[in-house]
Every structure is written in structure tokens, then in C-alpha cells.
Structure 1
Amino acid sequence: MEWYTLVYALGFIFVHLYSKYLTFLHTIPRSKLLSIAGGISVAYVFIHLLPELNMHQQQIDDRLNDGWMNFLNHHIYIVAMAGLASFYGLERMVKVSKKISKNSDEYARVFWIHIISFTIYNALIGYLLVRGENEGFFEMALYFIALSVHFLSNDNSLRESHEHVYDHKGRWILAGAILFGWLIGVTVEVNELILSFLFAFLAGGIVLNVLKEELPEEKESHFGAFFLGSAAYSIILILL
């Protein structure tokens, strides 16, 4: 299974490195493909990710039932909300920094904070290729499809925020983070409790990163394409 998942890790890396050449994704009005991708990602979050988050909550309940951390029972969703809030804060920081000269140290600092955050994000996704709950061929394929189209949206957003700097440095770092996360998954099994919190944080981040790409009016998103992507992928997830 570990070498099998390496194929998917390399697929994620390919998406990061070559999405820049899909020039039709960078237009306004927003490409219908990106709106479909957003719908697929939302469907994956609500039909697959959140139920899996509930499973992690039950594991935490079992672990912390009588311990001093009992107050965390039923609150793994707070961690997911913290993930959403953290990535929202990052986006606000980037927007504010864009008002500053791009040659300034402040802009460079914000760029690295942004990239480091998504490096952790990607490393966790790479880790979950090996240590996640996707055991069968179809489950792994669905995970790959959902996260690949999600990466397309993320890359497009990061490219808009940081332009050539992202293509020159950022995309290579994020591609490497996928492989790094996969290697950690192959060699190290993280404590189940820690993994549950990381998974929850990632879920919150995915929700924010999907919605921030679809909701802004200036993006001129396509609701029909978004709805089609979410409905079709929901049906596939439910049937499989």
C-alpha cells in the first residue's frame, strides 16, 4: 500500500508543478472548471470528511473519557473551526500586505508565512495518503480526485496573491511538502490523538480555502458549475 500511495503522491506533485500551464484557469470570469472543482471539494468535505471527523471525535471520547483533558470531549469541531479561522487570518494578512510595496521586507515575510502554512497543510495531506482511512482503491481514487482539484484552486489563488514568486519558489516547496508528508507517513505513525487534531485542523482549512474561492463577487463564479460538481460528486461518494 505504501508504494501504491506513492503514485498518488507523485500525482499531487504533478498538479502543483504543472497547474501554471493551464492558462484558462486564470481568467475572470472564473473558469467553470474551477467552480466544478470547488463543488467537488465541498462535496468531499461534507459527505466524506466531516463524517470521518466525527469518527475521530469518538476516538478522542474514548481516550479522554476520564482524563484531565475531558473538557475536550465533543469539541474536536472547535479544532476544525480553528483551522478555518487560521487560514482566514492568513488570507486577510496577504490582502493587507498587497497594499505594501512588493519589494518590502514585510511582503516577503507574509509570503513565507503563507507558504509555510500551506507546506504544513500539504504535508498532512501527503501523510494521510498513507495513514488515513482511505483503504480501498476507490476510496483512494476519490481522495486523490477531490484533493487534486482542490490543489488546482489553491494554486490559482496563491498565484494571484504572489504572482511570479509563487511559481519561482512556492509551488516547488508545496510539491516537496507532499512527498515529505508521504515519507513521514511511511516511516512514522503519529499518535492517534495528535492525528485526530491535525485532521480536524485540515478539515477546517479545506472548508475555508474552498469557500473563499467561490464566494467573492469579483471572481464571477459559476453557480451552475459549482452545483453540478458538488451534486455529481456527492452522488458518487454516496453510491461508493
Structure 2
Amino acid sequence: MAVDTILLGALYLVVQLFANKIISTSTIGRFKWLSFSGGVAVSYVFVYVLPSLHKQQDNLSKDSGLTMESELYILGLVGLLVFYGVHKAAERASRKHAKGEGSFFWIQIAFFVVYNMLISYHIFASDIKGIEAVFYGIAVGLHFMAVSHDLWREDAARYEKLGRYLLAAGILAGWAVGVFAPMPSYMLGIVFAFISGAMIMNVLQKELPSEENAHFRTFLGGAVGYTALTIALKLFFNW
């Protein structure tokens, strides 16, 4: 097992288990943390997720002879719709219960366990290694942090008691499968397409800072800085 794989896996577990303590104890401040994370997430979607999805679709079309040339984009749409459905159901459940989302909180946790597992699996099963894996992996770590904080805000007690451990277990499961039992490349493309749609929806719905919580300069710095660094590294390392 490569060192970068071990480091990324450990980073994700630490972020998932202690995201809210990291945010709340940081001198940066919660609003700046989330604004910076949102900026990086938006950049990650446009400079990595969408180009990678296009590349995966091209490879699938060439290898399988499919002529529609949009199969993975459709799967991405399915992922977006599934996430949106879970989000809207959570909103309805929260309006019906005086405290949190009732039992639906655990349904939402279950969805994000699968979500974390698929993201983790794709990262550790893909062929990107070394500096590239660590660089893109950090953006995913910030994404995990934002998701964790959002779930914590919805029901802090249940999240701290059990929810965060279930989400960490999802990351650990994806890590193990990705490292020790990787699937064929076309399955990797299918997984990536589904989580791409869910990630795009999650980033636009949850990680773009709301007006009252936004720190625009930090958000802009995260987005522009991550984009510029990505372009520079792509040119330098020929990614």
C-alpha cells in the first residue's frame, strides 16, 4: 500500500470524525472555513469533476462501442436527482418534527455513508497517484468536512454520538475495496458518474455559503486559488 494512500485515508477519517472540532476551535472562524471550503469545492467541480466525467465518457464510448455518448452524463443526472430527493425529504421531515428530522435523520446518514464509500472507493481505486492524488484528495477532504458540519447542524447530538462514526465507516469501507478489490474500469466510470451528479448537487445546494454566513473574499480566494494552482500543476506535471 502506497504512502499517499495511507495518508489520504487517515486524513479522511480524521476529518470525518473531528470536522466540527477542527472548525469550531480554529482561529480562522467558522464562516471563513466554510466559505473557503465552498470556493475550493466549486473549483474542484469545474476543473476536475466535469473534465474527468467527459474523459470517462469518451473512454466508455471507445471501449464499448456505445453510440449515444451520454450514458455517464445520464447517470450523473440520476445521482443529482437522488441527492436532491433525499435533501427535500429531509426538509419535509424537519418541518414535521419539533426536534430535528426524526427518524429521517438516519436515512440521510445512511445515504451519506454510501456517498462517502463511493467517493472513497473511486479515489483509491483510480489510477491517479502521488502528488496528483494528494492534491485532488485535499479538495475531497474539505468537501467531507463541509458535509459533516451540515449534518452536525441538523442534529448535533445524534451526529456526535453515532452519525460521524457511521460516515467514517463508509470512508473506511470504500478505502478497503478501492485498495484491495478494485473493479473494472467501466465500473469505476459508472461509480464516478453517479457520485459526480450527487457531488455537484451537494456543492451547489450546501456548500455555496448563504448570504448571512458568507465571507466572499475567502470564498473567492478558495475558488480562484485552487483553480490557478490546478492549472499550474497540470501544466507542470502534464496531468
The TM tier, using the shorter chain, reads 0.7 to 0.9
Instruction: Tell me what 2:137 maps to.
Output: 144
TM-score, L = length of structure 2? 0.87
Equivalent position of 2:42 in the other structure: 42
| Structure 2 residue 81 is matched with structure 1 residue 107 | no
5+ long unaligned stretches in structure 2:
234-239
1:7 to 1:217, Cα distance in 2 relative to 1, 3 A: closer
Distance across 1 between alignment mates of 2:140 and 2:175 = 15
Question: Post-superposition shift, 1:141?
Answer: 1.5
Distance 1:89 1:101 in 2: 19
Superposition deviation, residue 57 in structure 1: 0.2
Q: Is 1:207 aligned to 2:197, yes or no?
A: no
Q: Which runs of 5+ in 1 are unaligned?
A: none
Aligned AA (1:166):
Y
Give me the CA root mean square deviation: 2.4
Q: Please state how far the C-alpha of 1:216 moved relative to its aligned partner.
A: 6.8
- The equivalent residue for 2:128 is 134
Q: Percent of aligned positions with the same letter in both sequences?
A: 32
Paired residues, number = 231
Task: Determine the structure 2 residue equivalent to 1:90.
Answer: 86
Equivalent residue of 1:31, what SS?
A: helix
CA drift of 1:90 comes to 1.0
TM-score by length of 1: 0.87
Deviation at 1:124, TM superposition (A): 1.6
**What is the CA deviation profile of residues 13-38 of structure 1, one whole-angstrom value per residue up to 9, with x for unaligned ones?**
00011112135389xx9611211111
Which of 159, 170, 182 aligns to 2:152? It is 159
Aligned to 2:236: none
Contact 2:124 2:175 (8 Å CA) reproduced = yes
Q: In the alignment, what sits opposite 1:170? A: 163
CA distance in 1 between partners of 2:23 and 2:126 (Å): 33
1:187 match: 180
- Code of the aligned partner of 2:145: L
Residue identity in the other structure for 2:110: I
**1:228 aligns to 2:221 (yes or no):** yes
Distance 1:2 1:72 in 2: 38
- Alignment-derived partner of residue 112 in structure 2: 118
Describe the shift of the 1:5–1:225 C-alpha distance in structure 2 as closer, same or farther (beyond 3 A): same
